[in-house]
Amino acid sequence: MKKMTFSQVRESWLNFFKSKNHLIIESQSLIPKNDNSLLWINSGVATLKKYFSGVETPPAFRLTNSQRCIRTNDISNVGVTSRHHTFFEMLGNFSIGDYFRKEAIEMAFEYLTKVLEFDVNKLYFTVFEDDKESYDLWIKLGIIKSHIIKCKKDRNFWEIGQGPCGPCTEIYYDRGEKYDFDKIGEKLFFEDIENDRYIEIWNIVFSEFENDGKNNYTPLARKNIDTGAGLERLACVMQDVNTNYDTDVFVYVRNIMEKYTEYKYDSNLYFERNKDSIKILINKAFSVIIDHFKSCIFAISDGAIPSNKDRGYIIRKLLRVSFINMDILKLKDSSINFIIDAIIDTMKDFYPYLLKEKTKLYEVFKNEYQVHHNSLSKSIKQFIELTNNEKIDEKQLFTLVDTYGFPLEIIKELEIHKDINAVNFILEAILNKFNYKMKSIKKLELDFELFNQFFEEHREISKSSNNNVSGLDRQTKNLINLDVVSKFDYNAFDIKQSKVVKIFDQDFNIVEEIKNSPGYIVLDNTCFYATSGGQVNDVGVIKNSLIDNVIKSPNGQHIHHFECGTFTLGELVDGKIDVNRRNILSAHHSTEHLLHSALKRKIDNSIKQEGALKSPEKVTFDFHYHKKLDIDSIKLLENDIKEIINKNQNSELFEVTLEEAQKLGALAYFEEVYKKIKGKLRVIKLGDYSIEICGGTHVKKTSDIEDFKIIKLDSKGSGTWRIEAIATKKLINDFDRTIKKQTLDDIKKFISDYHSIDLKDQEFEKLIDKNFDNMHFIELKQYYDLIKNALNVIKYKFEKTNQENIILNLKNNLKSYNELVNYVKLENIDRKILMQTLTNLVNENRNSIYLIINFIDNNYQYFLCGNDEFIKLKNLNLQQFANLVNSSLNGKGGGRFNFVQGNFNESSIEKIDSLFNKIMGELK
């Protein structure tokens, strides 16, 4: 069998099937395109379903790929087993109505035995019990019968209910007895026992039947081949290492990580029968961080972002689990970027786009780490109180998570590592992060099923989509069952003598009164808008208490949150919202409607809103479109909305049924939501330009918006785009005075830096020959990025030229002390340049020794080196001369027998020259 790196295995697969007339399909985004059935792309065939179903014609009828995938159903097994990952690559070859069983089996056999040079006697196969043709084909290729097993439908027939289906054949590889600890032998394979000896490396599905959903099968008009081979598994087998986590791509990253932690990964642990729980924990921590970081790097680069739902929730969970494992290894947040860099280094040959995403990845990871750290820091005191009791139960843990926001992911780590030594190790690592000490827990008496039951009940009644509301993720049935009458007045900015009809404490317990404490109140009549429909809440004052958040209960009442207040059930109170904030929110909400309309009218009528945010700072609008809008399209949209603002169109309100709203032509993309709303729906019509069902607040006339400016256009991945914009003169003036001015100043600084460099570049000068002051901001930002990147290239060229000149000058000034030693004295030369020069010198002339003395920053540096074989031949050890320099000149330094370096600050030139003349004289 050949030895191959991870990248070489991938390349060999694609090249082999290319030679068999397969078209190589680029690995697609992890975010499914136009496929709501999947959260992530989780297999090689997932991106090709449209071709197999006949919805689209494939670019070729033979295809091959290496598809990036995410699966999180076995997340708890990552780092525990040999082969579980959340991120992996699936190698595939596919036939869409072209070749079938015979060719697929023959190509698989040829690739394994001829290209990868597998020993055929170590290959094992499964076939469907009724698939005589596959069985005979393997026999014909020389596979002995005892290495083939006929299996029932549950193991070797691929189907998911109604639709195309068919039998499959699996290929296994026997890694040998050393992976069979109990010496069970072939029984592991034949009885499908979980093991690390017989590894499934390939599955070929013969899609040849149609299931009508009632298990009635008819032949497909067009038969297909769908195969999958895990790249990580193949690399593990090809490199003959213990687990997937011992392959080259993982080892490279792990070596980087080990530079920043006192702990080491123990690859020999795999073969130990009585494994130490702490060693297991440390090994797992390394693997989890690399695996989860890799998932997040690819997911974020493909357009996903951390959030509290769907894909974003998965990313946030993976990151938080990673951060906990970083704490276990005592890895500081400063090591995050180095881990990201290392992972990208292992993948950039096949995924070069990752390099462009580094800055974004740094920021997202850093922000998520800070959120996690802050959450932990706020609950750490309560956690210490529990651990100091030397005993924790599930109710206490649930309270810790539910009430104090302690990270659930830490509890899950305790659930995985039930050994008390591992538990104490985890807890101590977390507390040490905050310089706290804890007593060791003597016994962990936790019913995790009961804890999970508590948590699932809690999650079912938590209905909030507002991530910033303190306490809302702790909703209880008291909110679910809230039935008091509470009305919201869209037109009022203040309330007089409104009745307090319900009071909750911070944990949503019902109380009769609250004194100088945080909590929530419900009023029979309110003017405070609750966060919903993408519009954030109003803030203001009720009875001298600051209302900082307003949330909507499951039954529609507006729940007002305060950090410190005194209220009694049934009392009458006055209140007032922040009117300026409401006006901006209304302007932004109306602007969002106008932007939606403009996109449909000016760009493409099929465009629809996929998400929006209306905050006091900005309005965002997400939509799908097949290409990025150019600057002319941005200006077209902006000018269209400005014209509508200047036309002073009226805003009209209609309260109608859903059917009536649709007859009016109102946009209603969330019909299932509207069907659940009791009573009439609100329809907002802005002049003759926009009409939508909407529960938000809006301007009375379009001139109230005052002005409009698009400030950003970002890709969210998979053809999804986000426009960010601002309205009102104040926000736009503030933006121009700060953000735009800073961008202009930075561009002018870049240009000034260029002129200070003695290296002219015609392309750069064309780039800066623009009137930046009058540019649209999005165009200005594009030029900012172009100029910044171009300047960095020029600086690099300039520095490289300088380095080359310095190196050339250094070589020209070398002097021969004798036939063996060359030396030179220098001043103010960068150490990196010296190291590079010495490497070149030693490679160019292997029969010389080089001595360099460099005076820099009021200090002397010395370097003494030669080719290692030559130094051995001369029976020399340069370390003894380093010791001589250190003792004679009060210096510091050392190295290997053929390369030493150090520094000293001796001021006597005579003493320095005398010593080094003595050293060169002894080098013969």
pLDDT at 475: 31
777-790 burial: b if 16+ Cβ within 10 Å, else e: bbbbbebbeebeeb
pLDDT at 477: 62
Nearest residue to 276 (alpha-carbon basis) of 258, 263, 289, 288:
263
Identify the band that residue 729 occupies on the pLDDT scale cut at 50, 70 and 90: very high
Reported as a single tens digit per residue, the pLDDT across 872-907 is: 988 999 999 999 999 889 899 999 999 999 999 877
pLDDT at 466: 34
Identify the band that residue 623 occupies on the pLDDT scale cut at 50, 70 and 90: confident
d(CA 788, CA 794): 10
Between β-strands 62-70 and 513-523, what pairing exists: parallel, antiparallel or unpaired? unpaired
- Residue 174's SS3 state is strand
pLDDT at 389: 62
Whether pLDDT at 284 is above 80? yes
Question: Mean of the per-residue pLDDT values for the chain?
Answer: 87
Whether pLDDT at 469 is above 50? no
Question: How is residue 896 written in tokens?
Answer: 């290997």
Reported as a single tens digit per residue, the pLDDT across 736-775 is: 999 999 999 999 999 999 988 878 888 899 999 889 999 9
Identify the band that residue 54 occupies on the pLDDT scale cut at 50, 70 and 90: low
Domains of the chain: 6-240 (3.30.930.10), 247-459 (no CATH), 461-577 (2.40.30.130), 582-727 (3.30.980.10), 733-800 (no CATH), 813-922 (3.10.310.40)
Identify the band that residue 55 occupies on the pLDDT scale cut at 50, 70 and 90: low
Residue type, 401: V
Cβ-based burial of 445 (10 A; exposed 0-12, middle 13-18, buried ≥19): exposed
- DSSP code of 260? G
- Residue 855's SS3 state is strand
pLDDT at 394: 65
pLDDT at 641: 97
CB 368 within 8 A of CB 316: yes
d(CA 12, CA 17): 9
Residue 572 main-chain phi, psi, to 5 deg: -100, 135
CB 31 within 8 A of CB 718: yes
Whether pLDDT at 458 is above 80? no
pLDDT at 672: 42
% pLDDT > 70, the chain: 91
499-512 burial: b if 16+ Cβ within 10 Å, else e: bbbbbbebebeebe
Whether pLDDT at 447 is above 60? no
Least confident of 24-33, 796-805, 864-873, 911-920: 796-805
Whether pLDDT at 846 is above 50? yes
β-bridge partners, 683:
654, 693
Averaged pLDDT for residues 94-117: 95
d(CA 292, CA 308): 17
pLDDT at 109: 97
Q: H/E element holding 124?
A: strand 123-128
d(CA 373, CA 787): 36
CB 405 within 8 A of CB 375: yes
Q: Is the dihedral of CA 324, 328, 334, 335 positive or negative?
A: negative
Whether pLDDT at 386 is above 90? no
d(CA 536, CA 587): 13
d(CA 832, CA 193): 55
- DSSP code of 389? T
Reported as a single tens digit per residue, the pLDDT across 511-559 is: 999 999 999 999 999 999 999 889 999 999 999 999 999 998 878 899 9
d(CA 690, CA 436): 59
Q: Is the dihedral of CA 125, 131, 133, 139 positive or negative?
A: positive
Nearest residue to 707 (alpha-carbon basis) of 807, 876, 594, 547:
594
pTM, full prediction: 0.54
Question: How is residue 57 written in tokens?
Answer: 């014609």
Reported as a single tens digit per residue, the pLDDT across 794-831 is: 888 887 787 788 778 888 888 888 888 999 998 888 88
pLDDT at 610: 81
Most confident of 561-575, 608-622, 883-897: 561-575
Question: How is residue 724 written in tokens?
Answer: 């960010």
pLDDT at 498: 97
- The rounded Cα 253 to chain-centroid distance in angstroms is 16
